[in-house]
Amino acid sequence: MTALVWFRQDLRLLDNDAVLQACENHDAVRFLVTPTLSQYADHHWSRIKWDLYQRQLNALGDDLAEMGCSLEVAALDYFSDCGPFLQAYCDEHQITDIYVNREYALDEVCRDAKVIELLQKQNERTTTVHQFDSNLLVPPEQIKNGKGEYYKVFTPFFKVWLKHLRQSGVAAPYGRDKLAREGVGKFEHAKLSLPKGESRIPDTDSAELANSKDWPVGEANIRKKAQTFVRELVDDYKGNRDFPAVAGTSTLSAYFEIGALSPRVAAHLLQKTSPEFPEGLSEGAYTWLSELAWREFYQHLMFHEPRLAKGEPFQAEQAAFPWRNDAKQFLAWCNGRTGFPIVDAGMRQLNTTGWMHNRVRMIVASFLVKDLHINWQWGEQYFMQRLVDGSFPANNGGWQWSAGTGTDAAPYFRVFNPTSQSEKFDPDGDYIRKWVKELKDVPKKHIHNPHAYLEQSVQQQGMFNSNEEDQTRYPKPIVDHKHARETFISTFKQVKNTS
């Protein structure tokens, strides 16, 4: 009776139910990962996310090798290749049981359903697939309202989610000691590259980052990063989390996304800070826990609303919104050349590091949709292609929230004013100056709206340059915010009312 652990986006041994159960129930366990390269490319995985995934996969292979186990890597193209591949694999290696952690978006759900169907139908020997929910604290079926429906609004969802944690506690995550086998081996590192995926947006000229070296891999490093955040920063999280110039958030999102860190490990670190969990947590810790719940809210939403994975807005009537989709303005947004300093700083942070602060993600998203009137799906794809933490549920959720088309979204008439957001959340302009080099000498008084100041200093120096395309000069605003805001609100209302 040989079991197989089939890794997907759960690249860890610590607190991985599929791994633990396979090792507890079987004497012989094989470990396999099947990166589906063309599928990931079509899902717009960024090069930097792929690099991180591959580095963590290699670290996992090393960890398994240390325990005398080997990780097999079989590169496939599409999810549809998984079934036939596993069928042949199970025949060859006499696999009776496969252990996996569930993933909740439509393509992933269909992939697993096909695998199960194929293994049951066509194998001489039935191979049983055991599914676990190790990438969530609470699985989607467990959070329902009195009518048995899923929650469309976050606050009641959060209450029930907390009730589950309160009732069941957050079990201590188990480590690799439970899995240890004899022997020492060596893992041959995989070197795979992603092909180019399908694109629905104009080609951009900002470079695609392909190196994730700033993100340490290996379970010990990642756990240490989480521990340090909880020990040193979480209590101040509530006060700091909205200020992009302050390193006040965990920057753990990329690890949650590839499953190198489990939410149970994160929540357990919080639980250890207070005997009265979750009520006794500090304000900061409680707020951080609620962000872990947002992550799960959007994963549940994907599971319950498969149409979201087909590109539909949650508020279906908004599919008819007459977007302007101006390619030139879209490129200005992508390249951080809109003339709105906080927007440009955010986009340049993304293009330079593969990550962007949450407050700024909200500002740039609102700007693309409500100021430039460009389809939020263009922004959604651009983010996926650039983010190291690109996560379909969180990204789709964040974009639909910002566009006002989502469930429990920002109301459509709430349009972020990029200048006042900047004054409020980057009061000294430090974040702007860090990312927008042309503004590094602009005084605090002018940093949020620097155009008059820049014009004056250029004229004083006698070097007025009227060339709008000059990359060394900070661009003028590409849109009039007040006018754009009014047009967006009236158009959105019209679409809403004609549905």
CB of 113 to ligand FAD, least distance (A): 25
The catalytically annotated residue of 66, 221, 240, 291 is: 291
Is the Cβ–Cβ distance between 355 and 361 less than 8 Å?
no
Q: Which residues pair with 128 in a beta bridge?
A: 97
The catalytically annotated residue of 66, 221, 294, 305 is: 294
Which one among 135, 391, 421, 422 touches ligand FAD, defined by CB under 6 A?
Answer: 391
Could you check whether the bond before residue 278 is cis, i.e. omega within 30 degrees of 0?
Answer: yes
Does 143 engage in binding with ligand FAD (CB under 6 A)? no
Which one among 32, 86, 285, 365 touches ligand FAD, defined by CB under 6 A?
Answer: 365
CA dist., res. 424 & res. 435, Å (int): 18
Is the Cβ–Cβ distance between 42 and 197 less than 8 Å?
yes
Under DSSP, the state recorded for 240 is H
Does 250 engage in binding with ligand FAD (CB under 6 A)? yes
Whichever of 29 and 362 has its CB closer to ligand FAD, that residue is 362
**Closest C-alpha to 359, from 295, 309, 311, 425:** 425
Is the Cβ–Cβ distance between 239 and 284 less than 8 Å?
yes
Under DSSP, the state recorded for 445 is G
CB of 135 to ligand FAD, least distance (A): 11
- Paired tokens of 138: 């609470």
Which one among 41, 374, 387, 484 touches ligand FAD, defined by CB under 6 A?
Answer: 387
**Element (DSSP H or E) covering residue 332:** helix 327-334
Q: Is 161 a catalytic residue?
A: no
Q: Is 152 helix (H, G, I), strand (E, B) or coil?
A: coil
Does 361 engage in binding with ligand FAD (CB under 6 A)? yes
CA dist., res. 386 & res. 366, Å (int): 18
The amino acid at residue 327 is A
The amino acid at residue 135 is N
Does 295 engage in binding with ligand FAD (CB under 6 A)? yes
Does 253 engage in binding with ligand FAD (CB under 6 A)? yes
Whichever of 298 and 303 has its CB closer to ligand FAD, that residue is 298
CB of 48 to ligand FAD, least distance (A): 12
CA dist., res. 303 & res. 140, Å (int): 7
Does 136 engage in binding with ligand FAD (CB under 6 A)? no
Which one among 26, 241, 300, 304 touches ligand FAD, defined by CB under 6 A?
Answer: 241
Q: Is 355 a catalytic residue?
A: no
The alpha-carbon radius of gyration of the chain (Å, integer) is 24
Whichever of 112 and 257 has its CB closer to ligand FAD, that residue is 257
Is the Cβ–Cβ distance between 332 and 478 less than 8 Å?
yes
CB of 115 to ligand FAD, least distance (A): 26
Which one among 394, 410, 439, 447 touches ligand FAD, defined by CB under 6 A?
Answer: 394
Which one among 286, 314, 399, 435 touches ligand FAD, defined by CB under 6 A?
Answer: 399
Closest residue to ligand FAD: CB criterion: 398
Does 313 engage in binding with ligand FAD (CB under 6 A)? no
Whichever of 134 and 249 has its CB closer to ligand FAD, that residue is 249
Does 390 engage in binding with ligand FAD (CB under 6 A)? yes
Torsion of CA 408, 409, 411, 412, to 10 degrees: -140
- Paired tokens of 267: 């929540």
Does 176 engage in binding with ligand FAD (CB under 6 A)? no
Whichever of 321 and 355 has its CB closer to ligand FAD, that residue is 355
∠ at Cα 93 (92, 99), nearest 5°?
125
Q: Is 291 a catalytic residue?
A: yes
Residues in region 12-71 near ligand FAD by CB under 6 A: none
| Binding segment (CB under 6 A) for ligand FAD, from list 113-121, 185-193, 388-396, 491-499 | 388-396
Q: Which residues contact 410 (CB under 8 A, 6 or more apart)?
A: 366, 401, 402, 404
Which residue is it, tokens 């709105």?
A: 340
Q: Is 358 a catalytic residue?
A: yes
CA dist., res. 240 & res. 262, Å (int): 24
CB of 120 to ligand FAD, least distance (A): 34
Would you please indicate which residues are annotated as catalytic (active-site) residues? 291, 294, 323, 358, 376, 399
Which residues are near ligand FAD by CB under 6 A? 241, 249-253, 256-257, 291-292, 294-295, 298, 358, 361-362, 365, 383, 387, 389-391, 394-395, 397-399, 402
